[in-house]
Chain A
């Protein structure tokens, strides 16, 4: 069983469209994240949810809206897609209370291409 799974793996869409990426984790973690990786491989955190509550919201256009229906799922909806949104988006999860000694578990990524 995949610990953190994202769908779709690839997404090609036209400018102006609205799209969603889904993420599910079966690790029992209570915190989930979205990261964006640009073409130079730089990783930037976008959002974090803890038990369905938004706890990190970095400087991200409001066209990006995360939704967490339960602590095992964190979806990312993007409105009015732009060329600059093309990137690989990674979902990750972790468990609070386990201390700073624990990293995150990452999904395999969704490569979004806006044409």
Chain B
């Protein structure tokens, strides 16, 4: 079956630091890949997505590239802000009407 493995947290960085949160997946076929973000006390919001190999998803300064050869979809941001503090979830969705499969989430804390 499909699965997503995320870098374990928590991750604590200083403001303006470079961020990488690792995500690798196992899936049959050609899944779509997603990053969701959950701010404190809120629901999940779609941050970015990529639907095929070598696609790059980007939003709010975050980027992730669909790497089929390494089955990875690492999340990056060049300069984080305090407001980026949240839990980040990597997810995939296979073909048909397959359900969205989530990783375990990575809690990110940015300190001023």
- Residue ranges of A at the interface with B (Cβ–Cβ < 8 Å): 4, 31, 33, 40-43, 45, 48, 50, 55-56, 90, 92, 94, 96, 99-109
A41 touches B87 (CB 8 A): yes
Picked from A31, A92, A94, A100, the residue with its CB within 8 Å of the CB of B31 is A100
B98 at interface, CB cutoff 8 A: yes
- Residue ranges of B at the interface with A (Cβ–Cβ < 8 Å): 30-32, 34, 36, 38, 42-46, 49, 51, 87, 89, 91, 93-100, 102, 104-105, 107
Picked from B30, B43, B49, B51, the residue with its CB within 8 Å of the CB of A90 is B43
> Given A43-B102, A100-B31, A101-B49 in contact, is the A106-B44 Cβ separation under 8 Å?
yes
Picked from B45, B51, B96, B104, the residue with its CB within 8 Å of the CB of A101 is B51
How near does chain A come to B74, taking the closest CB pair, in angstroms?
A: 18
B32 touches A100 (CB 8 A): yes
Interface core residue of B36, B43, B105 (most chain A CB under 10 Å): B43
Interface core residue of B30, B46, B95, B107 (most chain A CB under 10 Å): B46
Residues of chain B contacted by A99 (CB below 8 angstroms): 32
- Cα–Cα distance between A41 and B10 once the two chains are bound (Å): 12
Picked from A90, A100, A101, the residue with its CB within 8 Å of the CB of B98 is A100
- Cα–Cα distance between A44 and B38 once the two chains are bound (Å): 15
Q: Quick one: closest B residue to A108, CB to CB?
A: B43
Residues of chain A contacted by B31 (CB below 8 angstroms): 100
> Given A103-B91, A108-B43 in contact, is the A42-B99 Cβ separation under 8 Å?
no
A101 touches B43 (CB 8 A): no
B32 touches A43 (CB 8 A): no
Residues of chain B contacted by A56 (CB below 8 angstroms): 99
How near does chain B come to A44, taking the closest CB pair, in angstroms?
A: 8
> Given A48-B99, A103-B36, A103-B100 in contact, is the A43-B42 Cβ separation under 8 Å?
no
- Cα–Cα distance between A42 and B95 once the two chains are bound (Å): 23
